[in-house]
Amino acid sequence: MDTSATPATDPRTEHVLEVDSIVTRFGAEAIHDGVSFKVRRGEVVALIGSSGTGKSVLVKEIIGLMRPTAGAIRLLGTDVWSASQDQLNALRRRFGMLFQDGALFSSLTVAENIFVPFHEHTDLPAALIPPLVGFKLALVGLPPEAGTKTPAELSGGMRKRVALARALALEPEILFLDEPTSGLDPISARAFDHLVRVLSDSLGLTVFIVTHDLDTLLSIVDRTIVLSEGKVIADGQVDAVRKLEAPWIKSYFSARA
């Protein structure tokens, strides 16, 4: 039985993610050269930058899949790269990750995909899990019939929703999204953005989005961090950032036909 509540800090100022002077080098090339920022609980933050600036690499370093050359990352109070295996596993239950193409298990059905985190990390009795899986599907706007399909039978938009449902299975405190709207038509993309915002507002979820999508940025994001040439060149509210004089920022925000 788990009666521990999360630490009683003021939700408005608690930092759920602290990235401190990250340096990442592949051979002679430094992709990140001193990247630092903080994310507060409940914020929807977007990480933007031109292709190849190492945004996806940074997310992988934050969630413990790739090791940075130097620097520290504190996620939900735990130092990711000096934690023990047990601490890391406990940490992994507190965040959810949506990979760029969903990364669903291709040999399992949708329902079985969402079943995996419940099966591995909880001891819910078998009778309680199917309704919960059905609810997670409903939460992301999918009909219960989607549960019997395999990922190969789904469209790109549906795959991403299933992946989101799987990421939300264990009630995470922070959600990482890697280019969630890439490959979606404008209607599906906006619907997905809206879903993310609603979930964040209702569940108090912190959301960290790596994106190229200008519409996402302008509609649902509280704060944006701009990565360019290995450093953070801007960090603040979207309206403030778009007024900055840096050349990349200017061309990014005016890159509309």
Partner 1 sequence: MSEAGPWIRHQVEDGASVLYLTGVWRLSNVTAIADALQSLGLRVRRQFVLDGSNLHEIDTAAGFTLYRHLAAIGCSASTVSVRGFDRRHERLLALVHERMTCPPAASRSVHRGLTRRIGAAAMHVWELLMSQTAFVGSVAVELLALVRRPRLFRLKETVSQFETICLDAIPIAALVTFLIGVVFAYLLGLQAQRYGANIFIVDGVGLAICRELSPLLVAVIVAGRSGAAFTAQIGTMKVQEEIDAISTLGLSPIQVLVIPRLVAIAIALPLLVFVGDLAGILGGVLVGELQLDISAVTFFDRLHSVLPMSAPVVGLVKAPVFAAFIALIACRMGLLVSRDARSVGVNTTSTVVQSIVWVILLDAIFAVVFQRLDI
Binding-site ranges for partner 1 (CB under 8 A): 1-6, 105-107, 122-125, 128, 130-132, 134-135, 138-139, 143-145, 147-148, 150-152, 168, 170-171, 198-199, 201-204
Q: Which is nearer to partner 1, 139 or 234 (CB)?
A: 139
Give the tokens for residue 114: 């969402």
Smallest distance from partner 1 to CB 77, Å: 17
Smallest distance from partner 1 to CB 119, Å: 13
Smallest distance from partner 1 to CB 2, Å: 4
Question: How deeply is 92 buried, as exposed, middle or buried, from its count of CB atoms within 10 A (0-12, 13-18, 19+)?
Answer: middle
Residue 232 · residue 37 · CB < 8 Å: yes
Smallest distance from partner 1 to CB 36, Å: 29
Smallest distance from partner 1 to CB 109, Å: 10
The number of residues in the chain equals 257
Q: Which is nearer to partner 1, 37 or 99 (CB)?
A: 99
Q: Longest C-alpha distance within the chain, in Å?
A: 58
Residue 36 · residue 198 · CB < 8 Å: no
Q: Which is nearer to partner 1, 185 or 201 (CB)?
A: 201
Q: Which is nearer to partner 1, 66 or 128 (CB)?
A: 128
CA angle (58, 73, 5) in 5-degree steps: 120
Residue 78 neighbours by CB under 8 Å, 6+ apart: 87, 88, 91
Q: Which is nearer to partner 1, 109 or 181 (CB)?
A: 109
Smallest distance from partner 1 to CB 16, Å: 15
Pairing of strands 15-26, 70-75: antiparallel
Q: Which is nearer to partner 1, 140 or 177 (CB)?
A: 140
- Determine how many CB atoms are found less than 10 A away from the CB of residue 58: 26
Does an H or E element contain 201, and which?
A: helix 186-203
Smallest distance from partner 1 to CB 72, Å: 29
Give the tokens for residue 18: 């602290």
The SS3 assignment for 225 reads: strand
User: Taking the chain, what is the end-to-end CA distance rounded to the nearest angstrom?
Assistant: 56
Q: Which is nearer to partner 1, 151 or 157 (CB)?
A: 151
Task: Please tell me the distance from the alpha carbon of residue 162 to that of residue 165, in angstroms, as a whole number.
Answer: 5
